[in-house]
Structure 1
Amino acid sequence: MSDHNKQLVEHFINLSWNTGRFNLLRQIVTPDFVYHTTFAEGFKDVDSFVEYVKQIRTAIVDLDVSIEEIMAEGDRVITISTFSGSFQKPLFGFPPNNKVIGFSAVSTWEIRRGRVCSQNTLVDLAGLQRQMAQNWGNGTVRAAG
């Protein structure tokens, strides 16, 4: 079961962040799917998550999420991922600059009956802030909305 859950999470990441195939994504999440990240306030259902990802993929059209490590036990999966790409359109109050940035994130996932029911993501905000300060020169990262 753990190997199947790892494959499900890999598929989720590819369908959402890497390819934007949201209709297929909706088929692999539970109706009560919940997403939470340290980069944005509150919890998101699948529709809010899709809008959030679309907003980011519009600004970072070359966005790539690479899974560096994946571990699973029972219905729980943990991923360590790297998000990278260049800002080509304004995002969260920052102007586009076409510079490539990359940051790490750790996510915990819960699987229920072969579908993803939750994802909690901790973003390396300090690493992202350092890159933003270099790119924008002000040292301030605003919370994503």
Structure 2
Amino acid sequence: MSATEVARNKETLRRFHDAVSTGDAEVIARTIDEVVDPDVLIGTPLPIEAKGAQALKEVFAVLHRAFPDLHIEIEDVIAEGDRVVTRNTVTGTHQGKYMGLAPTGKSITYKEILIARFADGRVAETWAVVDVLAQMRQLGAIPS
């Protein structure tokens, strides 16, 4: 993979995160359609039945209903070959039901790492590690 392709893939993943941070469902869906393969393989267990790009749209719809001001700050971007990794800090205010929890109004901050494999300039596979324990502690669902 050329340096140009690697740089393009890094920029594509940044564009994806920027779209998610807008909170605009249309922008998010359009960006997913543009940068994610419709049959993307998602290597992270998700509590939804949808697959592929549709699953990503549903995940972010759920997150934005719970945290309308959800924001992803990219801390690091590392790329090699067909893979791009981002280390992110995610923030938001709990204003809607989330994982069975009624809105608390609490602001949360948690970390995540996303690995994306690219094929033909689009995200073809993802793996994410999300600090759900930090989320649940900050929302009061789990004692600190």
Verify same fold: TM over 0.5.
Answer: yes
- Asked if 1:105 corresponds to 2:112, the answer is yes
- Asked if 1:56 corresponds to 2:59, the answer is no
- Cα distance change of structure 1 residues 97 and 129 upon mapping to structure 2, 3 Å threshold: closer
Structure 2 contact 32–53 (Cα < 8 Å) conserved? no
Task: Find the aligned partners of 1:9 and 1:28 in 2 and give their Cα distance.
Answer: 8
Task: Report the TM-score, using the length of structure 1 for normalisation.
Answer: 0.82
With 87-96 and 36-45 compared, the bigger mean Cα shift is at 36-45
**CA positional deviation for 1:11:** 0.8
**CA positional deviation for 1:79:** 0.7
Q: Which structure has more strand as a fraction of its residues?
A: 1
Task: Find the aligned partners of 1:100 and 1:110 in 2 and give their Cα distance.
Answer: 32
**CA positional deviation for 1:128:** 2.5
- Asked if 1:3 corresponds to 2:7, the answer is yes
- Cα distance change of structure 1 residues 81 and 25 upon mapping to structure 2, 3 Å threshold: same
Residue 126 of structure 1: SS of its match in structure 2? helix
Task: Find the aligned partners of 2:30 and 2:93 in 1 and give their Cα distance.
Answer: 26
Match of 1:69 in 2: 76
**CA positional deviation for 1:81:** 0.6
Q: Aligned pair count?
A: 135
Task: Report the TM-score, using the length of structure 2 for normalisation.
Answer: 0.83
User: Which runs of no fewer than 5 residues in structure 1 stay unpaired?
Assistant: 141-145
**CA positional deviation for 1:24:** 2.9
Amino-acid identity (%): 27
The root-mean-square deviation of aligned C-alpha atoms, in Å, is: 2.1
Task: Find the aligned partners of 2:48 and 2:61 in 1 and give their Cα distance.
Answer: 17
Match of 1:143 in 2: none
Match of 2:40 in 1: 33
User: Which runs of no fewer than 5 residues in structure 2 stay unpaired?
Assistant: none
**CA positional deviation for 1:36:** 3.6
